[in-house]
Amino acid sequence: MCIHYRYGNIFKTHALGSPMIVCMDPQINRYMLINESKIGLVLAHPDSIKNIIGVNMAEVNGTVHKRIRGTLLSLIGPAAHRDGLLQKMDRCMRSFIHNWAGKTIDIQQKVRKLAFMGSLEQIVENEPSSFYETFEDLFVKMSLGTMSLPIKIPGTTYYQGLKARIKLNALLEELLAKRKASSVTHDDFLDQLIRNNGYNSSEEIIEQIVTILYAGYDSVSSTAMMTVKYLHDNPRALQAIREEHFALQQNKRPEELINWDDYKKMSFTRAVIFETLRLANVVNGLSRRTTSDLELNGFIIPKGWKIYLYKRETNLDPFLYQEPLTFNPWRWLVSSSILNLILLCIKNLLLINEDKYIEMQEKGSESNSYNLLYGAGGRECPGKELSISRFSLFLHHFVTKYRWEEVEGNKLLLYPRVIAPKGLHIRVSEY
């Protein structure tokens, strides 16, 4: 909160020699995100990310952005979850965490592996283990390169990241050629992208594969790790989430997979995820660049300047969140009897079905004007539902199958990145 009190909600600074406006006003940030195309704002990723990841969905604008976003949502959006994606993810989750009992594990390393391999196997299925191992090695090098200074000298992390991306492209181009020449169909994202007539080139397909993997690589694993940490430190919340998931299990056979109806009943789990994101969000802010002079709050921001929409201060603002440093998932639940009564009346008057009613209840708690955990507007994270469902499935199996205790010596950093430098080690046993 020190920055807010010292400089105010909006101030000018410099980043790597370029002038930048930092905005911490949640209402103004939301306005800019919702209206960015109207007021002339475009993405402003660091050069290291743009040069290595490429011109992905986050960089394109207009009709191209809408088309690519639509295709991405068809792969990982709510409709895909209802049509079988949840069951595929659940099957993968069960396989991955079934044998942790009696072991001391680094949960940071485990969930990072789970997040990456789970996504990769949904994108490309039934390949030899050597393919996945090679892909993971190249992807890690590429990701490290995006977080380094863009110095293209052999031996630097950035240079290794560039080389790894070139090799990744070659690996995927070879796989694409093999798939297109084969009459065998596969139940994975790659096959859906190949069959989608909106894609005209292998390059665009490869861009989307890398985008899906890169977008969730750090965020999913870090959030899952911190959820385990917060639940361990808050027995009341742990008991509440266990009760929610044991109640789901009562009506299902042990081998029966989680479906959409089960997932929509995980309201407290969803609250736990949002509270974890509020306290330990991997994304501290969002960068934009002006394409023309922009008037903002009485000031003129010149063309070409960057604007950093800083979310971290909002997430910890005591005027928005009571006791902001306290882990309190209940703050995300719609507990107001008046609001529930209003929604129930709307449901009865307009003959809204049960799914829509539950969705409206969720929106009442999640869609406040200052909640920018997944962004807002046309660039709201298209993987929002995918990340929440993946967290939910992980927690469903983890809290009902295991109990755990932390091993001494763990150290966590929440800024500038959410990370356990030496891992977060826990001792796991059967519940």
* Side-by-side strand order, sheet with 425-430: 104-106, 425-430, 402-406
Does the annotation place 23 within a ligand binding site? no
- CA-to-CA dists, residue 269 to 45, 243, 320, 391, angstroms: 32, 11, 22, 9
What's the rounded Cα separation, in Å, for the pair 160 and 143?
A: 10
- CA-to-CA dists, residue 413 to 278, 392, 421, angstroms: 15, 24, 8
Phi/psi of residue 428, nearest 5 degrees: -105, 140
What's the rounded Cα separation, in Å, for the pair 228 and 237?
A: 11
What's the rounded Cα separation, in Å, for the pair 418 and 7?
A: 25
**CA nearest neighbour of 305 among 322, 288, 281:** 288
What's the rounded Cα separation, in Å, for the pair 320 and 311?
A: 13
DSSP string spanning 35-85? Answer: THHHHTEEE---HHHHHHH-S-TTT--HHHHHHHHHHHHHHHSHHHIIIII
In this structure, are residues 333 and 271 in contact, taking their beta carbons and an 8 Å threshold? yes
What's the rounded Cα separation, in Å, for the pair 275 and 88?
A: 27
Q: Give me 424's structure tokens.
A: 């977060």
Q: Which amino acid is at 399?
A: V
How far does CA 276 lie from the centroid of its chain? Answer: 12
The helix or strand, by DSSP H or E, that contains position 8, with its residue range, turns out to be none
In this structure, are residues 96 and 397 in contact, taking their beta carbons and an 8 Å threshold? no
Phi/psi of residue 321, nearest 5 degrees: -130, 115
Q: Which amino acid is at 52?
A: I
DSSP string spanning 208-275? Answer: HHHHHHHHHHHHHHHHHHHHHHHHHH-HHHHHHHHHHHHHHHTTS-TTPPP-HHHHHT-HHHHHHHHH
Q: Which residues are annotated as a binding site?
A: 381
Binding residues for heme: 381
